[in-house]
């Protein structure tokens, strides 16, 4: 399978996964974004489903994790997952948290972003249209992953990750390299006026984040651009922000999209660790 991307690479040696070309140039991290391909799940989860909470068997999900870890170069035992509820809680994790949400029970009810400076832990967050945001402190060698749905985006979770990394690791926002997506694009993300009002309040009615939809009282929202603007406000350099050019709904043969499947779907994961 070929993808039409100028910023991401699809690796197909075994289980397919995506990487950011910019992040791949940073030699002290490993990262990956899974696809919907290459797993053992069946039915509506076919085939690379990485969520334990959607009705797939735990045995299938565990096998899928083993497969994607082997393909992308992560240690299964090092995985530590978020507990996403579309809020803005940022959690610092370390080797003591290995296995949480994967082969150990979740120990927090609300975690939509993870940060670490510990090379013995791999961060894992979940997606199927919402926005993944990768954070790499190139000076202090610390990393973060955030899940930004529309609620997390207007709650400025990306800014909260920058603030948390500054507080925990001494991160200067100017030293961060950030990557956004894959996410449902403005081409496909239609919302009601009630939802759009949150973005209008944050960015202004004339912002390119928001445009009128084809239907009355419908709007099109650019989640990726919204998170980029929040990062810029937080002091991240524009030259250090990369946005995926893959819309999850437009590429639903490769990527899980909640909207494209009507909610009958598996879940993708973002992974990142320090070497």
Q: Between vectors from CA 188 to CA 182 and to CA 191, what angle results, nearest 5°?
A: 110
pLDDT at 253 over 90: yes
State the pLDDT confidence band at 157, using cuts at 50, 70 and 90: very high
Which residues partner with 10 through β-bridges?
18
pLDDT tens track for 194-243: 999 999 999 999 999 999 999 999 999 999 999 999 999 999 999 999 99
Residue 192 lies in a domain: no
* CA dist 63 → 33, 59, 153, 161 (Å): 17, 6, 32, 31
Residue entry with tokens 């690796």: 11
Tell whether 199 is covered by a domain. Answer: no
Q: How much of the chain exceeds pLDDT 70, in percent? A: 100
Where does residue 171 fall: left (phi above 0), alpha (psi -120 to 50 degrees), or beta otherwise?
beta
* pLDDT value at residue 160: 98
How does the average pLDDT of the chain come out, rounded?
98
Contact 124, 80 (CB under 8 A): yes
- Please, what is the end-to-end C-alpha distance for the chain in angstroms? 29
DSSP at 227: H
Using CA atoms, how far apart are residues 194 and 167, in angstroms rounded to an integer?
A: 34
- Residue 165, domain member (yes or no): yes
The answer to the question of residue 217 being in a domain is: no
Average pLDDT (3-13) is: 96
| Residues in Cβ contact with 227 at an 8 Å cutoff, skipping those fewer than 6 apart | 131, 133, 148, 153, 158, 180
Return d(Cα 165, Cα 174) in angstroms, integer: 12
Domain membership flag for residue 198:
no
Q: Is the pLDDT of residue 173 over 90?
A: yes
pLDDT at position 214 is: 94
The per-residue DSSP string of 156-171 comes to THHHHHHHHHHHHH--
Is 78 inside a domain boundary? yes
**The pLDDT of residue 2 is above 90:** no
Using CA atoms, how far apart are residues 200 and 121, in angstroms rounded to an integer?
38
Q: What is the mean pLDDT of residues 154-161?
A: 98
pLDDT given for residue 181 in this prediction: 97
Helix axes 193-203, 223-233, angle to 10 degrees: 30
Q: Which residue in the block uniquely carries the two structure tokens 């927090």?
A: 108
Number of other residues whose CB lies within 10 A of the CB of residue 220: 18
The answer to whether residue 49 scores a pLDDT higher than 90 is: yes
- The CATH number of the domain holding residue 50 is 3.60.140.10
What does the block give as tokens for 180? 């956004």
**Domain count of the chain?**
1
Q: Which domain holds residue 16?
A: 8-185+222-274
Q: Please check the confidence at residue 112 and state whether its pLDDT lies above 90.
A: yes
Q: Which of 131, 163, 142 is nearest to 270 (CA)?
A: 131
Residue 72 banded pLDDT, cuts 50, 70, 90: very high
Work out the number of other CB atoms within 10 angstroms of the CB of residue 132: 24
For the chain, the farthest-separated pair of C-alpha atoms sits apart, in whole angstroms, at: 51
In this structure, is residue 86 part of a structural domain? Answer: yes
Does the pLDDT value for residue 1 go beyond 90?
Answer: no
pLDDT at 62 over 90: yes
Instruction: Classify residue 191: in a domain, yes or no.
Output: no
């Amino acid at each position: 399978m070929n993808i039409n991307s100028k910023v991401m690479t699809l690796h197909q040696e075994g289980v397919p996964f995506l990487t950011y070309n910019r992040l791949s140039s940073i030699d002290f991290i490993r990262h990956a974004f899974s696809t919907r391909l290459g797993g053992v799940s069946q039915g509506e989860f076919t085939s690379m489903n990485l969520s334990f909470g959607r009705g797939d068997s735990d045995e299938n999900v565990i096998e899928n994790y083993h497969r994607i870890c082997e393909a992308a170069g992560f240690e299964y035992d090092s995985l530590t997952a978020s507990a996403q509820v579309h809020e803005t809680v940022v959690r610092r994790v370390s080797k003591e948290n290995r296995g949480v949400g994967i082969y150990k029970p979740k120990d927090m009810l609300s975690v939509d972003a993870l940060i670490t400076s510990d090379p013995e832990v791999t961060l894992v967050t979940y997606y199927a249209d919402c926005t993944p945001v990768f954070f790499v402190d190139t000076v202090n060698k610390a990393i973060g992953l955030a899940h930004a749905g529309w609620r997390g985006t207007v709650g400025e979770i990306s800014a909260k990750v920058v603030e948390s990394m500054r507080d925990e690791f001494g991160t200067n926002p100017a030293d961060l390299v950030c990557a956004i997506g894959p996410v449902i694009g403005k081409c496909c993300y239609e919302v009601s006026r009630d939802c759009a009002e949150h973005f209008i309040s944050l960015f202004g009615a004339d912002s390119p984040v928001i445009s009128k939809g084809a239907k009355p009282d419908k709007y099109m929202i650019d989640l990726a651009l919204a998170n980029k603007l929040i990062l810029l406000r937080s002091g991240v350099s524009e030259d250090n922000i990369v946005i995926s050019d893959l819309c999850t709904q437009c590429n639903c043969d490769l990527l899980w999209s909640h909207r494209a499947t009507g909610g009958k779907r598996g879940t993708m994961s973002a992974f990142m660790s320090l070497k």
